[in-house]
Amino acid sequence: MAKFKRIAVLTSGGDAPGMNAAIRSVTRAAIYNGLEVIGIRHGYKGLIEGYSKPLKVHTVSNIIQLGGTILKTARCMEFKTPEGRKEAYDYLKRRQIGGVVVIGGDGTFTGARVFNEEFDIPFIGIPGTIDNDIYGTDYTIGYDTALNTVISAVDKIRDTASAHNRLFFIEVMGADAGFIALRSGIACGAEAILVPEVKNQVSTLKSFLEDGFRRKKSSNIIIVAEGSEEGGAYEIAKKVKEDFQEYSVRVTVLGHIQRGGSPSVFDRVSASRLGYAAVEALLDDQKSAMVGLQNNKIALVPFRQAVKLHKELNKELLNISKVLSI
């Protein structure tokens, strides 16, 4: 039996499709095990200021298909201070909350790790970010849905690109990581993919475009991660246009459309598995760790590793993208 009777769940940082499915899973798994569940609103800010509501079985009915998060999310500078974390701890003690499930990314887990170094209430994390850049898990909640959103948009753009002999630069999210750009680029047959992890890509891109023009390629789709070292899609398009006047260059920034929408089947099932696993981890007296997916199995990863270690792009996919773009 658990040493506590009540847990809390919150979402923090950027929202991602599937967060509601995770909230639902945490709530129902906890209730199944005889625990009460408190939903913390507005992330860590809610812990400090006491924004909360009880979650029941019926409260989380009919939310598995919704994007966003019913608990809302926010970034909280106060939680980065010892005083803010002490306020959060005092709130948890007043409400007799014995464990917390946090759904988010790097920043969320960093806060949870520091809190667990200072206080005795265990935190367990669920990776929820469309960027898929969390070490220790093959997939994060929201990544698959974001990919499907991107390729749906790019498929439509390719139709008009082919009709007008246009060169389209399409910017996707990924300020520090190219996971969305790489996988979506392969899936939509992009002629080139620019990611933050690979340097000096504009010169390579120009050589590729010269070859394509000689072969009279009618159109090109270039996927650009917003964090590319050469700048975003607009900046790169400007550099390329100088040397390729023959192309009609267009830029599309997909932006926050990638965060929204009903989660895919994969994200719904993954979120359900991870929510259940997070409750099991608390019941097993685990703390300061993330539940992740490794080779389609649940894995428990210390926050220290999830935050500090860098997740690498799949080198095989990088090579495949180059080979298939000829």
Strand 36-40, strand 6-11: pairing = parallel
159 is catalytic: no
Rounded to whole angstroms, how far apart are CA atoms 267 and 139? 9
Rounded to whole angstroms, how far apart are CA atoms 18 and 271? 6
Question: Which are the contacts of 47, defined by CB distance < 8 A and separation ≥ 6?
Answer: 8, 10, 40, 79, 87, 88, 91, 92, 100
Catalytic residue (choose from 15, 106, 131, 144): 131
* DSSP state string for 175-200: SS--HHHHHHHHHTT-SEEE-TTS-S
Strand 36-40, strand 99-104: pairing = unpaired
Q: Is 74 in contact with 12 (CB distance < 8 Å)?
A: yes
Rounded to whole angstroms, how far apart are CA atoms 105 and 133? 8
Catalytic residues: 131
